[in-house]
Amino acid sequence: MALDPSRTVAELKELRELTGDENGAQRVAWTETWERARSWLREKVAPTGAEHEIDEAGNQWFTLRGASERALLIGGHMDSVPNGGWLDGCLNVLAGVEVLRRIAEEGTPPLTVRLVDWADEEGARFGRSLFGSSAAAGSMADQDELRQRRDANGIALPDALREHGVELDRALEARRQLENAAAYLELHIEQGPVLESLDLPLGVVLGTFGVERHQITWRGQAAHAGSTPMDKRRDALAGAAKLALEIRAIAAEVGGGAVCTSGGVVCKPGIVTSVVETAEQLLDQRHLDAASLARLLALAKEASERFAREESLEVEWERIWSIEPILFDERLIELADESIREVCGTSHRLPSGPLHDAAEVARAGVPTVMLFVQSLRGLSHTKLEDTREEHLELAVQALDRLATKALRAFAA
């Protein structure tokens, strides 16, 4: 039985029928539909003889015993956002299933091979993404806070998890799952426009961006739009506007794939007859290199102070969230590059803007790499999410070749 990438496409469609509706995928973690997807997955994997297990964090594992206890992990997530796409998360798992079939067919592998369906990557119901992988990585530090979380219907997170057999207090015991991990591979749709713009099916991911996320508050003076001459104004919007434009020059100056986004400005009083007194601006800055990320932030702060002086405003920065860049394994990046070139001629290296379960695994010290397959129009988290079927098949092939190379490299 050879690798059959078209089967992956067929199974993706079968899953879509089983767990989606006219609004898209509905496999939200800790729901019946999600459980249905996981049962279906278990049936699909059963013929390979891989052992099935659900760990303390709700992660679903399929283990194919090899010559060594050290394990090659291939992962993804069956859960989706509400009204999600047909690929985000489950492509990764179903491509892994096909690779597992091919390896099982060939006899005992040199390393144990494990397929993992991480629990609640999206965090759609309780707003906590990467639940299962962060538990396994030992980086889940917010359990006290999670105990208080409730969904839109007021159901507490620990109660919802218990209904699916997971005790929050024991979730970190899932850490044992990574003890023998030799390497971790994950395929994902890009969820961005880069590969499409380069007309390339596949790329290798260098790591996930570090993120600096701030709210910047500009304070000026409300004043009547009719009675206040232009030179007597302290317009908070002017500060926010200058920074919204300047971050583009800053990203260009720092380079190396830097992205800076001002996702919104809230103006107060926000009425047509008043100069803006307060502008609350959101800023998201990302870079794969920690020093460059720090420079993005420093340059933006410097610019904001200059603009505050120019406009006679006060400016204040408040950090909302930050995370350091997480770099993937250089050896695996090389192997992934080779695999992609073998399958489709040309490869491309790119960072990942969004976080993924792979980032948690990498943080835990497991050599990790990801493959990206082209997303049409960069769309995801919507039923409009799509990738050409020929590209999906190439992705399965590339993941399979990467698994073979990784087994060889890490068994040595």
Region of 85-93, 254-262, 289-297, 388-396 interacting with its own copies (CB under 8 A):
254-262
**Residue 245's Cα: distance from chain center in Å?**
27
Does 252 interact with its own copies (rule: CB under 8 A)? yes
- The CB-of-322 to its own copies minimum distance in angstroms stands at 12
- The CB-of-401 to its own copies minimum distance in angstroms stands at 25
Per residue in 180-217, is it b (16+ CB within 10 Å) or e — as a string?
A: ebbbbbbbbbbbbebbbeeebbbbbbbbbbbbbbbebb
Among 23, 39, 108, 273, binds its own copies (CB under 8 A): 273
- The CB-of-270 to its own copies minimum distance in angstroms stands at 4
Give the C-alpha separation, 143 to 171, whole Å: 9
* Cis check: omega of the bond before 269, within 30 degrees of 0: yes
Region of 31-39, 231-239, 291-299, 331-339 interacting with its own copies (CB under 8 A):
231-239
Among 43, 107, 179, 263, binds its own copies (CB under 8 A): 263
Asked whether 44 and 11 are in contact (CB, 8 A), the reply is yes
What is the DSSP annotation of 195-248?
HHHHT-SEEEEEEE-EEEEEEEEEE-B-EETTTS-GGG-B-HHHHHHHHHHHHH
Tokens 């971050």 identify what position? 247
- The CB-of-216 to its own copies minimum distance in angstroms stands at 11
Q: Between residues 46 and 271, which has the closer beta carbon with respect to its own copies?
A: 271
Among 117, 122, 186, 190, binds its own copies (CB under 8 A): 190
Does 245 interact with its own copies (rule: CB under 8 A)? yes
Asked whether 283 and 315 are in contact (CB, 8 A), the reply is no
- The CB-of-399 to its own copies minimum distance in angstroms stands at 20
Helix 90-105 crosses helix 32-45 at what angle (to 10 degrees)? 20
Q: Between residues 107 and 263, which has the closer beta carbon with respect to its own copies?
A: 263
Number of residues that bind its own copies (CB under 8 A): 58
Give the C-alpha separation, 136 to 119, whole Å: 10
> What residues does 25 pair with on adjacent strands?
20, 84
CA distances from 367 to 92, 149, 164 (A): 18, 33, 31
Region of 2-10, 30-38, 176-184, 268-276 interacting with its own copies (CB under 8 A):
268-276
CA distances from 388 to 195, 281, 385 (A): 12, 38, 11
Give the C-alpha separation, 181 to 16, whole Å: 31
Among 52, 176, 232, 309, binds its own copies (CB under 8 A): 232
Region of 45-53, 73-81, 124-132, 247-255 interacting with its own copies (CB under 8 A):
247-255
Does 323 interact with its own copies (rule: CB under 8 A)? no
Q: Between residues 98 and 235, which has the closer beta carbon with respect to its own copies?
A: 235
Among 172, 244, 300, 398, binds its own copies (CB under 8 A): 244
Q: Between residues 34 and 209, which has the closer beta carbon with respect to its own copies?
A: 209
Rg (CA), the chain: 24
Q: Between residues 208 and 397, which has the closer beta carbon with respect to its own copies?
A: 208
- The CB-of-380 to its own copies minimum distance in angstroms stands at 8
Interface with its own copies in residues 347-366 (CB under 8 A): 352-354
DSSP H/E element including 275: strand 274-275
Region of 61-69, 96-104, 175-183, 251-259 interacting with its own copies (CB under 8 A):
251-259
Does 199 interact with its own copies (rule: CB under 8 A)? no
Q: Between residues 112 and 208, which has the closer beta carbon with respect to its own copies?
A: 208
How big, in percent rounded to 5, are the helix, strand and coil portions of the chain? 45, 25, 30
Does 67 interact with its own copies (rule: CB under 8 A)? no
Tokens 């010290």 identify what position? 365
Q: Between residues 130 and 171, which has the closer beta carbon with respect to its own copies?
A: 130
Q: Between residues 139 and 382, which has the closer beta carbon with respect to its own copies?
A: 382
Characterize the bridge pairing of strands 368-373 and 210-219.
unpaired
Q: Which two tokens stand for residue 345?
A: 């001629």
Q: Between residues 116 and 254, which has the closer beta carbon with respect to its own copies?
A: 254
Binding site for its own copies (CB under 8 A): 190-194, 197, 209, 211, 213, 223-230, 232, 235, 237-238, 240-242, 244-245, 248, 251-252, 257-267, 269-276, 282-284, 286, 320, 352-354, 378, 380
